[in-house]
Each structure stands twice: as C-alpha cells, then as structure tokens.
Amino acid sequence: MALENTHWGAERIGKALKGCKSIFFIGIGGISMSALALLTRGAGYIVGGSDHGENAQTVHLKQEGIPVFVGHDEANVSRYDAVVYTVAIASDNPEYLAAKRMGKPLFSRADYLGYLMMAYKNRIGIAGMHGKSTSTAMCAQILLDALDPTVLCGAELGVLQNSTCRIGKKREHFVFEACEYMDSFLDFNPTLAVILNIGLDHVDYFHDMEQIRDSFLCFARRAGKNGTVLYNADDRESVEALAPYEGKHVTFGVEKSADFTAREITHRDGSTEFDFCKGEKILCRIRLLVFGMHNIYNALAAASAAFLCGVSPESIARSLEGFVGAKRRMERKGVLTSGAVVYDDYAHHPDEIRATLSGAREMGYTRVLCAYQPHTYSRTAGLLQEFSKAFHNADRVYMADIYAAREQNIYGVDSEMLAEKIGERAEYCGSFSAVAQAILRDAKAGDLVIVMGAGDIYKTFALLGV
C-alpha cells in the first residue's frame, strides 16, 4: 500500500529543518525524486538516498557525487538529519519506519518541494491531465533563453543536457511540473498556476469528475487571491472548475475568445505555424517543429506564461522554433532496416493517445503503426471504452501486456481484451519480443512506428535495433 503525502506546509518544514545539514531521499531513483535531490544539494545540504535498483537517474546522481544505496536498509538513514520519501514506497519500508522511530523530520516529496520553491519570487506551476511535461519543457526553454530560471520537469530535456532539473543562479523564477496524482500538487505554492486541461484519470484515486474539479480549483487557490490562474478557455471542465477562483483569471485558446489565442494556423514544410495574439493584437508568429493540435495548446500555454513573466514576443517565438520535444514525447529513435521511422511516446491515457496519433497523421507518412503498453489495471478497466476508441488514427495496433506498476489485477482486465475491443486493426502480442517481431514483419518504408506507453515498453527499441 502506498503512503500518503504529509501536508506539513512550508513554514512547518522550515522550522523542522532548522539546524539540519543532511537529507536522505527514499526512492531517489525516480525522475522527480532525483531532480529534487539535485535541487537540495544546490540549496547547500549534504544529500544521499536509496532505491530498489539502479537506473539512469541513480547513475547520474552517482556521477554528480551523491551516494545512492541499492536496496532499503534502516542503517542507510542513520547518518542523515532528515528524510524525504516518495509516496510510491510501501508503508513497511524499513528506512521510512526507522526515520519515524528515530524521530527524524520526515516529509513526502510533494510537501518538501512545496517548501523548496518558496525561496523563489515567481513560481510557475504547470498542471493538467495531459501535456504538462511538454508544456513545462516549452516554458523552460523560453525562460532559459531569456532569464535564469530554476526548472523541475517530469521528463528529461535536451536543453538541460538530458536532465530533469536545472538550478538557476538567482532566486527569481521557478518553473515546475505540477502532478495531480494523489493530490500532490496541493502541496505546491505557485504564483502563476497554469492548467492545460481537466479530465478523468487516476481512477484508483479520483472517484469522479467532481473530485477532480475540486482538486484543480484547490491547486489554483494555492496561488492565493493575489496570484494568477492561466487556463484553457476551450476546455469546458477547466472553465467550470476554475470559475470560483478568487484571484486573477487569464485564458488561452484556439476555438473560443480568450486573452491569448492562436490564429491563422497553418501546416507546411514539416512544421506548424500560428499567430500568437493578445486580444486583437498579433504579438508574433510562432513556428513549431512538433506536431499536433495538442502541441499548439501546449505552446500557447507556455508562451502565455512566459509573456506574463515579462519575456518578449520575439524571444518567445525564437525559443519555440528551436524546441524539438521532451524525452519520450514523440522522440525520434531511429530507422528500421525496412525504412520505417520509429518514435517513442509516453501517452497512456485515451485523450493523449488520440492527440498523439492525430499529430502523427499530420507528419505525412503512408501508415501509422502503434505498439502500445497499457499502464495500470485500474486505468485500463476504468477507461476501457475510451481506450477502445482512441486508436482510430493508427493503421495497426500491437498490444503488449499491461504494466502493473503498483497494482494487482483485481479488475479482471487484460491487454487481449482491449485488443479485441479495438477490433481488426489491433493484434494482441503480449511480450515485447512478440511486439518487436510483429513490427518487423509489417513495417515498410514510408511507415511511422510509434512505441507508446508510460511503463517499460521502451525495452522494445533494443529488440527493434534502434
């Protein structure tokens, strides 16, 4: 069973850390936790941590001189003054129990991040069920080119030398991805709360849309009455959820009237262009090298946030034209011997799948072939009908077994069932080797192959030879 967030708040954590010189991170190998460890070291603390195994993040941390223990042992935490944990660990984790027994200050990741960000004047938190990593990456690139931000993203960024974080020299701007799962973002303290979209997801935690709308409204309210919420005017759920927010409302959109809009959208020469407008005034013409309507919204949100932070339209346009994407967000991996081009994408929700495949259709390939690994039994069961309709822009779908993550299959669902619901275009493969064999059998020159999912389906690339 996963642990809960602590919700101590920045003031209480600050008092608890007074006199502490070292902090230990349980689950340090996670994308967010590894970045938080680096930020903590940048704040002047001695840092160490542990995880159940090694991965790219733990290797990077060791290269940075941060000790990482493989496996969890209560002896690991004894030499540290305070402990931060990810809620993904089990409640019987020996390091967590030892920290409690020893009376060490003990905080959840989100709670601690909320404390760290309070050192910054402008705190831009980017939330939404879909697109937040890409939009955070876009906003980070704009601010990196114009200002000196601290950045914390949920995906590795090429502009950050394939890291998920960057520590600015000034305590002025902090751009961060705000994750809604387990209401983690309710521990954050944005001054500008950006909300891309609101929809049904994480059905193992959120019971219905009313709970989700309430959570996003609470996130906006973390900015306070003197803060600003920037949200999608075309997203009905966002408009409805954020109506009661007492602070400043700023909107962006394409279809409806908004404060910031994308107009005169065109697709040509392998790129997408639009006029970035404030009211009736054209601020600049933006050119994107990433595809899909979802990326227009992501760019519009990032550009609007950057403009509100004082970045010039010219600088915004220049930065976005150089944006090539975040890791595992339509990331080009290589070319098969057949000539088919292979991409990697993190999509794991029906809305994300539809958006990614729609964007893939715009890229000019003859066919779109999609290998997909569903993520968690609860999400697959709760959104089964939506998943079955999400792949209509794929010519072929190769289904891998469900990535269980933290769950047991108590839902009576599997990937073969989903493949049957999708229909003739879908083929249940099961193992990664079977997925790779099916792709190599079918893919031809002129095809686009997307390997998709939030689990470990990336292991397929080695089998494909890319």
Decide if 285 is inside a domain. Answer: yes
d(CA 61, CA 56): 9
Q: Do 416 and 363 contact (CB within 8 A), yes or no?
A: no
Contacts of 12 (CB under 8 A, 6+ apart): none
The CATH number for 439's domain is 3.90.190.20
d(CA 238, CA 235): 5
Q: Are residues 260 and 314 in the same domain?
A: yes
- 8 pLDDT band, cuts 50/70/90, is very high
pLDDT in the model for residue 287: 95
Q: Are residues 222 and 103 in the same domain?
A: no
Domain that holds residue 202: 120-321
Question: Could you tell me how many residues make up the chain?
Answer: 466
Q: Are residues 345 and 386 in the same domain?
A: yes
Output phi, psi for 392, to 5 deg. -65, -20
Decide if 433 is inside a domain. Answer: yes
pLDDT in the model for residue 151: 93
Q: Are residues 160 and 271 in the same domain?
A: yes
- 371 pLDDT band, cuts 50/70/90, is very high
Count of structural domains, the chain: 3
pLDDT single digits (tens) 274-312: 999 999 999 999 999 888 898 999 999 999 999 999 999
Q: Average pLDDT of the chain? A: 93
CA dihedral 278, 280, 284, 288 (to 10 degrees): 80
The CATH number for 41's domain is 3.40.50.720
Contacts of 381 (CB under 8 A, 6+ apart): 203, 411, 412, 413
> Which of these three, 268, 296, 321, is where a domain ends?
321
Instruction: Judge whether residue 240 has pLDDT over 90.
Output: yes
- 162 pLDDT band, cuts 50/70/90, is low
- 263 pLDDT band, cuts 50/70/90, is very high
> Which of these three, 46, 79, 114, is where a domain ends?
114
Decide if 105 is inside a domain. Answer: yes
**CB crowding 374-392: b at 16 or more within 10 Å, else e:** bbbbbbbbbbbeebbebbe
Q: Are residues 364 and 436 in the same domain?
A: yes
Instruction: Judge whether residue 451 has pLDDT over 60.
Output: yes
What the block records as the tokens of 29 is: 């190998």
* Mean pLDDT across 199-226: 92
Q: Are residues 78 and 206 in the same domain?
A: no
Taken in order 156, 161, 166, 168, the sign of the CA dihedral is: negative
pLDDT more than 70, % of the chain: 98
Instruction: Judge whether residue 328 has pLDDT over 80.
Output: no
Decide if 5 is inside a domain. Answer: no
Decide if 74 is inside a domain. Answer: yes
Decide if 305 is inside a domain. Answer: yes
Instruction: Judge whether residue 161 has pLDDT over 70.
Output: no
* Mean pLDDT across 141-161: 85
pLDDT single digits (tens) 89-145: 989 999 999 999 999 999 999 999 999 999 999 999 999 999 998 999 999 999 999
* Mean pLDDT across 348-370: 91
pLDDT in the model for residue 405: 85
Decide if 1 is inside a domain. Answer: no
Output phi, psi for 390, to 5 deg. -85, -10
- 164 pLDDT band, cuts 50/70/90, is confident
* Mean pLDDT across 369-389: 95
Decide if 230 is inside a domain. Answer: yes
Q: Are residues 162 and 194 in the same domain?
A: yes
The CATH number for 130's domain is 3.40.1190.10
What the block records as the tokens of 221 is: 């309210």
Q: Are residues 413 and 458 in the same domain?
A: yes
230, β-bridge pairs: 194, 250
What the block records as the tokens of 426 is: 């879908």
What the block records as the tokens of 88 is: 């993904």
Instruction: Judge whether residue 406 has pLDDT over 80.
Output: no
Q: Do 306 and 149 contact (CB within 8 A), yes or no?
A: no
